[in-house]
Each structure stands twice: as structure tokens, then as C-alpha cells.
Amino acid sequence: MNITKQQRKNMQIFNHNFINYFAKKFNKIINRNSLEAHEIAKKIKRKRYVEILSCYEFCEKNEWFGRDAGATDRDVRIRLGYNDMNEVRPRITELLQMKYLEVIDNISENGRRVRACCITDAGAEFLKFNRM
């Protein structure tokens, strides 16, 4: 079966229009699902922020781990009961960037220099309004 150039061109136009039609039709559904997933992720992140800030608030009040102030990322992980440092470290970095935490010291832990942070007034304010 030989296909002429015109038939091939018509098939390409049809395929292009067919794909565009369904892409536009399903884009609304995909977009809605993406927005819902984004909202869920924001809630999970906010929950983690509150957990971490609460931990720093607790450490500050109770001198946890025998230090006069501050807690390391590992201290927070242990206090919250997580198994992996990656469950707290990225959120702590984000909280530092948002100025809800501040680095107060670099201490030696397991032969490495690590940051010890404490909660700021802005972090305490965020915690006050977002506590669960």
C-alpha cells in the first residue's frame, strides 16, 4: 500500500489536531490534580516546620542534650524519632533561609563541625499561629 505525500500530510495534521484536542481536554484535570497534590505537599511541609520549631523551642527551654542553647540537625532527628537525616535537614535549611532559625554555634559531632541552631522571634511567632 503506497501512501501519497498528500495522504501522509493529512495524517500528520490529523494526529497533531487529535493530540492537541485531548491535551486541552485533559489539561484541566491534570492541572487540578497537580494543584491538589501541591496543597497536600504544602500541608505536610508546614506540619514538619511546626514539628521542628517545636523541637527547638523544647530544647531551648529544657537545655536538652546538655548544651546551654541550640540543637544540631541530628539532635532534632533523634528528638522527633526520624530514621533519616534527610527528613529534617532540608526543612531546617529552609527554616534558616526564612529566618525562623539562626545558627548560634558550630560544634564538633562525630569528628565533624556541625551547626547548632536556635529558634528566632519570627520562628516563635510562626509556631504560635501554626501550632496544631
90-120 per-position pLDDT tens digit: 999 999 999 999 998 888 888 889 998 988 9
pLDDT above 70 (res 13): no
- Cβ neighbour number for residue 69 with a 10 Å cutoff: 12
Higher pLDDT, 34 or 6: 34
- Residues 6 or more apart whose Cβ sits within 8 Å of residue 91: 45, 48, 49, 52
Distance CA 96, CA 118 (A): 10
For residue 114, the one-letter residue type is V
Mean pLDDT (whole number) for 20-39: 68
Chosen CATH of 5-130 out of 3.40.50.1980, 1.10.10.10, 2.60.40.10, 3.60.15.10: 1.10.10.10
pLDDT over threshold 80, residue 64: no
When computed from its CA atoms, the radius of gyration of the chain, rounded to whole angstroms, is: 26
Read off the pLDDT of residues 68-97 as tens digits, 9 standing for 90 and up.
667 889 889 998 999 999 999 999 999 999
Domain boundaries along the sequence of the chain: 5-130
Sign of the C-alpha dihedral, residues 51, 57, 60, 64?
Answer: negative
Average pLDDT over the chain reads 80
Q: What CA–CA distance (Å, rounded) separates 26 from 28?
A: 5
Backbone angles phi, psi at 85, to 5 degrees: -60, -30
pTM, whole model, 2 decimals?
Answer: 0.70
> Which cell numbers in the block locate residue 109?
559531632
